[in-house]
A and B are shown apart, each in its own frame.
Chain A
Amino acid sequence: DVKVTQSSRYLVKRTGEKVFLECVQDMDHENMFWYRQDPGLGLRLIYFSYDVKMKEKGDIPEGYSVSREKKERFSLILESASTNQTSMYLCASSSPATGGPSTSWTDTQYFGPGTRLTVL
């Protein structure tokens, strides 16, 4: 069974603080993703990574950075948190089907439970 865990379920931070959101998966998946979920906007991709130390910008990377030093761990960093970053953050991982390309978007993504971040 695939397990994706996120370090915190709820987090409250102040404007200007540096925030780290951690995600760990235990299935040796190559691909990892960070999304944010907002009412009326669905899930929006912030960053993704298809290998250790590799990262690609998603649709809304502004104000965020990521780090992937180990295959199982993908961190989302808010360098200076702002109130408009209050959101639900979801991490996901996936692995390509045998023989598939390294980032096949049709592969099933397995999501963590989410971190609800409030920035005051």
Chain B
Amino acid sequence: DQQVKQNSPSLSVQEGRISILNCDYTNSMFDYFLWYKKYPAEGPTFLISISSIKDKNEDGRFTVFLNKSAKHLSLHIVPSQPGDSAVYFCAAIHSAASKLTFGTGTRLQVTL
């Protein structure tokens, strides 16, 4: 039972354009969300997070949007750069249950 889903296993975007990575969840008790980025042969690194009391959080080129009614969050990267090519995992936290659940990952390829 995959409670956090990233329905696009891969995405290709041209350099300079916007990359939009999507994540859907089923558990309405999730109250904190994170994005991690993973390069080949390296462990995931934290990218950006958002609390459920907010609907947007921005950090430089990265913005995360949260739509609680739709149980959907998205990561926007603008402008996309070749160095952004990686696998992106979303993760959701149910704080009261001490539960962290990762999504299945989306491989982003930024082309020249």
Residues of A at the B interface (CB closer than 8 Å) are 4, 9, 35, 40-45, 59, 90-92, 103, 105-106, 108-114
CA distance A9 to B42 in the complex (A): 10
For A109, give the chain B residue with the smallest CB separation.
B46
- Which residues on A sit within 8 Å (CB–CB) of B49? 106
Residue of A44, A91, A108 most packed against chain B (CB within 10 A): A108
Q: Which of B43, B46, B102 makes the CB contact (< 8 A) with A42?
A: B102
* B98 contacts partner chain A, Cβ-Cβ < 8 Å: yes
Is B32 in contact with A106, judged by CB distance below 8 angstroms?
Answer: yes
For A94, give the chain B residue with the smallest CB separation.
B46
Chain B, interface residues (CB within 8 Å), range: 20 to 34
29 contacts between A and B (CB under 8 A): A9-B41, A40-B104, A42-B2, A42-B4, A42-B6, A42-B103, A42-B104, A42-B105, A43-B91, A43-B102, A44-B102, A45-B100, A90-B44, A92-B43, A103-B98, A105-B93, A105-B95, A105-B98, A105-B100, A106-B34, A110-B45, A111-B43, A111-B45, A112-B43, A113-B41, A113-B42, A113-B43, A114-B42, A114-B43
- Which residues on A sit within 8 Å (CB–CB) of B101? 59
CA distance A103 to B98 in the complex (A): 8
Is A4 in contact with B99, judged by CB distance below 8 angstroms?
Answer: no
CA distance A91 to B41 in the complex (A): 13
For A6, give the chain B residue with the smallest CB separation.
B43
8 A Cβ contacts from B68-92 to A? 89, 91
- Which residues on A sit within 8 Å (CB–CB) of B45? 110-111
- Which residues on A sit within 8 Å (CB–CB) of B100? 45, 105
Is B32 in contact with A105, judged by CB distance below 8 angstroms?
Answer: yes
CA distance A100 to B2 in the complex (A): 29
- Which residues on B sit within 8 Å (CB–CB) of A108? 46
CA distance A28 to B34 in the complex (A): 23
CA distance A79 to B55 in the complex (A): 45
- How far apart are A63's CB and chain B's nearest CB, in angstroms? 20
Q: Which of A43, A44, A59 makes the CB contact (< 8 A) with B44?
A: A43
Residue of A41, A44, A106 most packed against chain B (CB within 10 A): A106
- Which residues on A sit within 8 Å (CB–CB) of B105? 42
